[in-house]
Amino acid sequence: MTTAKRIALVTGGNKGIGLEISRNLAAAGCTVLLGARNVERGEQAVRQLGQTGLADVHFIEIDVTRQDTITATAQRIESSYRQLDILVNNAGVNLRGDGPPGAADLGVVQKVLDINFFGALRVTQAMLPLLRKSPAGRIVNVSSGLGSLAYNSDPSWSGYNWKLIGYNTSKVALNMLTVQLAYELRGTKIKVNSANPGYTKTDLNDNTGTQPVEVGAIEATRLALLDDTGPTGGSFSKDGPDPW
C-alpha cells in the first residue's frame, strides 16, 4: 500500500450513503472527488463537508448516464492527479413505475438499469486506465441485498417481498460486474467488491430505512480502504460475506 495520499472518486456523492462514504474517505486521509450530476447540489455537499474541517474534497460533475461528463472526469483526474486509487460506484435510483415483472413500466425498468448498472459500467471503463496506474486500486460497487438471487428466493429473508424487476436486476447485474471485473483484473493490484449497505434511511426509500447513513456507509468505506491482503470479487455487508 502506498503512503501517498489516495485519490478517491465517489459517484452520487452529494447526499445519502454516497455523501457519508465521501466523508469517511476524506476523514481517512484521501483526496475525495465528490461526484454529482447537479452542480449546485454537488458544491453544497462539498461546502457541508468543508464546514466540518474536511478540506480536501472537490466537486466533480458526473452524470453516470452522460458519457461527456464521464470522459471529462477521467481527463480531469488524469491531468490533476495522473491516477485514481479508489472508485466507488454509488450513484443509483429506485424509480416509481418499477415493480413486479408482470406490471412494471418497461421504460422505467430500462431507466433504472441505465443508471444503476450501465452507469457503473460506463464509469468503470473510463476510470480503468487511471486505476491501473495506482499501486493499490480499489473499486467498490454499491449493490444491495436485493441484488442477491439467493436472498430474492429465500422466503425467510427480510426483503423477500421487495420484488422490483428493474432495481433488483440492476443490482444482480452490478454484482456480475464485480465478479467479471475481478476475474479480468486478477494478477493486478486492483480489487473489486460489492458492498451491501443494508436498509438505510435515505431519499431512495422515502426515508423509510431502518438504519442511518453512518451505518449504511460502513462496508463500502471498508472495501474502499482494503489493504493488500483484502478480498476481491466478493459481496459483503457490514456483517460479513453475502450470498450471490
Ligand X SMILES: NC(=O)c1ccc[n+]([C@@H]2O[C@H](COP(=O)([O-])OP(=O)(O)OC[C@H]3O[C@@H](n4cnc5c(N)ncnc54)[C@H](OP(=O)(O)O)[C@@H]3O)[C@@H](O)[C@H]2O)c1
Residues lying near ligand X in the complex (CB under 6 A): 11-12, 14-18, 36-38, 41, 63-65, 90-93, 115, 119, 142, 144, 197, 199-200, 202-205, 209
Give CA separation, 159 vs 164, 192, 233, in Å. 11, 25, 24
Q: State the nearest-atom distance from the C-beta of 77 to ligand X, in Å.
A: 16
Residue 70 or 130 with smaller CB distance to ligand X? 70
Q: State the nearest-atom distance from the C-beta of 132 to ligand X, in Å.
A: 24
Residue 92 or 166 with smaller CB distance to ligand X? 92
Q: State the nearest-atom distance from the C-beta of 94 to ligand X, in Å.
A: 7
Residue 15 or 191 with smaller CB distance to ligand X? 15
Q: State the nearest-atom distance from the C-beta of 169 to ligand X, in Å.
A: 12
Residue 92 or 137 with smaller CB distance to ligand X? 92
Cα torsion angle, 31, 36, 38, 44, sign = negative
Beta-strand ranges (E) seen in 12-133 are 31-36, 57-61, 86-89
Residues in Cβ contact with 204 at an 8 Å cutoff, skipping those fewer than 6 apart: 16, 92, 93, 94
Q: Which residue has the cell 467488491?
A: 193
Q: What phi and psi values does residue 176 have, to the nearest 5 degrees?
A: -65, -35
